[in-house]
Amino acid sequence: MYGTRTSLLALALLGLLLASCASRTPLAGLEPDPKAGVDAASGLPRRATHRTSGVVLRLVPSAGTAAAFYLAESELTVGSWRRFAKLSGYLSDAERGVPDDRFTVGAFSAVPSGNREWSELARWDRIFPLLGTEELRDELPALYLSAADAEAYAAHFGLRLPTAAEWERAARAGSTTRFPWGDDPAMACRHANLQDRAGARRFPEFNVPLPCDDGFALVAPVASLEPNAWGFFDLIGNVEEWCVANARAAEPYALTGGSWVSDADGAAVDHRASLSRNARRDFIGFRPALSIGE
């Protein structure tokens, strides 16, 4: 009898230990999408919802020595940022007036010519104030967020920003061409919201618009266009995305993917731009990532 009780106690303790370990594993916080299936090589779900943040993630498979990880399927939306701000009480750099060059409250935002000026009204919940015609919608990408804002969001939910190399791996989705869809920029409008004929009709000072029309003069609701081969939306176009370039560099962040104001060169998969950590613009957003096995 004593031996039986001891064995049962040992099994109970083992169960508690395994449950405790599982609760500290990133995958324990995911709700897999059964329709997307699992990756044959790793057995990991290809698509899952991050429970605490509500962000939908897709698997970026391992490649050589580069580990697999999860990346948000689309850019972070206004709705997701609104939920975070309500939960945490966080105020963005634009709201708090954290200096961006010589400016404080607000952000750089488009004017009718297509150029940008500083506006003290511009922030994530007041988009394009100098145009005066744009409606805020929850499915739009969240704008006017700095790298510091992006890091704050990620840290709150146990997520992180992707590195620029990780972002490029996801964007290429196994391709080796200039763009994920090939080398022809004229094909962009099926996949990416860039500086095209729709934008040129709205903003006469756009230079050399792409020879196609995606129907969006400004930012588009996320996932409005076709995904890449791995199911990611808008890795090229819509908004440039904050990534970690080099944590030890003077400017450790890179902007990737181009945006609704980018030409073909800015939309190339290997293109990188750089701004300071507290910079905010109407063409910058981000998407969070999740490490596996940490």
pLDDT value for 293: 73
pLDDT value for 9: 39
Q: DSSP 3-state assignment of 63?
A: strand
For residue 100, what are the β-bridge partners? 103
pLDDT value for 170: 98
Per DSSP bridges, beta strands 240-244 and 253-256 are antiparallel
In the block, tokens 């756009």 appear at 206
pLDDT averaged per 10 residues in sequence order, the chain, 294 residues = 43 36 64 96 96 98 94 98 98 98 97 95 98 93 98 98 97 97 95 96 85 96 98 98 83 94 95 96 98 78
Please tell me the chain's helix, strand, coil percentages from 3-state DSSP, rounded to the nearest 5. Answer: 25, 20, 55
In the block, tokens 């994920």 appear at 180
pLDDT value for 135: 93
pLDDT value for 8: 39
Q: Where is 55: in which H helix or E strand?
A: none
The candidate with the shortest Cα–Cα distance to 234, out of 51, 72, 59, 68, is: 72
- Are residues 201 and 174 in contact, defined by beta-carbon separation less than 8 angstroms? no
* Amino acid of residue 290: L
The C-alpha atoms of residue 232 and residue 170 are separated, in whole angstroms, by 8
The candidate with the shortest Cα–Cα distance to 265, out of 190, 210, 203, is: 210
Q: DSSP 3-state assignment of 227?
A: coil
* Amino acid of residue 283: F
State the CB neighbour count (10 A cutoff) for residue 216. Answer: 20
103 φ, ψ to 5°? -105, 160
The candidate with the shortest Cα–Cα distance to 215, out of 233, 240, 237, is: 237
pTM metric for this prediction: 0.90
pLDDT value for 172: 97
The C-alpha atoms of residue 97 and residue 12 are separated, in whole angstroms, by 54
The C-alpha atoms of residue 269 and residue 146 are separated, in whole angstroms, by 22
pLDDT value for 204: 81
pLDDT value for 247: 63
Give the torsion sign (CA, 101, 128, 268, 180).
positive
For residue 1, what are the β-bridge partners? none
The C-alpha atoms of residue 220 and residue 227 are separated, in whole angstroms, by 14
pLDDT value for 25: 56
pLDDT value for 17: 32
* Amino acid of residue 222: V
The C-alpha atoms of residue 275 and residue 145 are separated, in whole angstroms, by 12
The C-alpha atoms of residue 77 and residue 81 are separated, in whole angstroms, by 6
pLDDT value for 28: 84
pLDDT value for 26: 62
